[in-house]
Amino acid sequence: MNTQVAIIGAGPSGLLLGQLLHNAGIKTVILERQTPEYVLGRIRAGILENGTVELLREAGVSRRMDAEGLIHHGVEFLFSGQRIPVPLSELTHGKSVMVYGQTEVTRDLMEARQSSGAPTIYGVEQVQLHSLKSDKPSVTFMHNGEQCKIECDFVAGCDGFHGVSRQSIPREILREYESVWPFGWLGLLSDTPPVNPELIYAHHERGFVLCSQRSLTRSRYYLQVPLTDKVEQWTDERFWNELKCRLPDELGQKLVTGHSLEKSIAPLRSYVVEPMQYGRMFLVGDAAHIVPPTGAKGLNLAVSDVNYLWRILRQYYHNGRTDLLSQYSQLALNRVWKGERFSWFMTHLLHDFQSKSAFDKKMQEADRQYYLGSRAGLTTIAENYVGLPYETVE
């Protein structure tokens, strides 16, 4: 089998890259270890940056998003019972974010891929990447008990943190940067109306709270919990009672509870690998970087990577630009590190944990007073939250 770009991973980044390349007349094959049902069953983020929304529109997969997605012009912070609104659009010259679940983004991209007729092969095993430093890399894998091989021009590693793509780069070349946070987020999804029109990021002495949403009738809530906690310890009743304890009475009284559709505990970590390319293989999304969900940057940083990679590859195939290929890693990392910084900042701002020194706690308090008490501080938060602009590829 021959193609121009072999894409490893059929999550949202791999599917979006495939759709953009297909629209540009560039041939792709997508390989995925799991089944389509498994991929769609993963509950993930739901906040789309301004740039993510625009790129999905550019890919021609925005019909349902534009019809069903909820545009948010603001967000709220809550400290010591005080609610602090952040008017995103007012502070960023009209930019906003959209609430539209990652599962729905993936569904839209899957349907577009199927309609295009471009091949996606699910249920592959033993994927291996070969000759990545040559002009003709290849990918081998097992499918339905048969050994298969794809010869290609480029490989896009969109296969997540545990995928084979990053592991195919020699260890002596990679530089890893990591910070593991000493707590987790317990998330609950329910078919209940959101407690507030805008998302609420709340600091509380009992632990952080995020009141999020997926639609006008589906809510997503998070509680900061110790890493030693197990999901089985948290009944629905215990979750709702704890959430009410961490919210002001005015919000607690409005809270509509219900049966959980999904409940899980996610550990938090910050992780970046450099470089994000090796020969003719490019890392995209979680294969190269992980952020805590506090800044809503995980999916959005993956889309940022896709934005740079597809534009570079389009220039290569349409205009013969080979000089841009070596620029991918630095272009992507410039924005990745800014996203990591914002997620790190938000996590420190909103969480308390035992390892903080007395000095660190004073710095945390000073940050809260400045960033949430001045227009300049609020503007910094707003600009990062709606998404920093992409650099031009030229």
Q: What is the DSSP letter of 323?
A: T
Closest by CA position to 9, among listed 163, 125, 141, 132: 163
12, 137, 275, 293: the catalytic one is 293
22, 72, 95, 203: the catalytic one is 72
Q: What is the DSSP letter of 9?
A: -
Q: What is the average per-residue pLDDT within 114-118? A: 95
221, 222, 371, 385: the catalytic one is 385
Report pLDDT digits (tens) over 259-296: 999 999 999 999 999 999 999 999 999 999 999 989 89
Calculate the average pLDDT of the chain. Answer: 95
Does 170 participate in catalysis according to the annotation? no
Is 210 within 8 Å of 252 (Cβ atoms)?
Answer: no
Helix (H, G, I), strand (E, B) or coil at 62: coil
Closest by CA position to 310, among listed 84, 22, 3: 22
Structure tokens at 209: 């709270």
Report pLDDT digits (tens) over 230-258: 999 999 999 999 999 999 999 999 999 99
User: Percentage helix, strand, coil, to 5, in the chain?
Assistant: 40, 25, 35
C-alpha neighbours within 13 Å on the C-beta side of residue 48: 26
d(CA 316, CA 320): 5
d(CA 190, CA 176): 37
Does 99 score more than 70 pLDDT? yes
297, 316, 351, 371: the catalytic one is 297
201, 221, 316, 328: the catalytic one is 201
User: For residue 43, what pLDDT is reported?
Assistant: 65
Structure tokens at 10: 């059929």
User: For residue 42, what pLDDT is reported?
Assistant: 74
For residue 40, name the pLDDT band (cuts at 50, 70, 90): confident
Does 292 participate in catalysis according to the annotation? no
Does 93 participate in catalysis according to the annotation? no
User: For residue 138, what pLDDT is reported?
Assistant: 97
- For the chain, percent of residues with pLDDT exceeding 90: 92
Report pLDDT digits (tens) over 332-359: 999 999 999 999 999 999 999 888 889 9
User: For residue 281, what pLDDT is reported?
Assistant: 98
Of 36-50, 62-76, 96-110, the poorest mean pLDDT is in: 36-50
- For the chain, percent of residues with pLDDT exceeding 70: 100
Question: Which residue shows structure tokens 């410039």?
Answer: 334
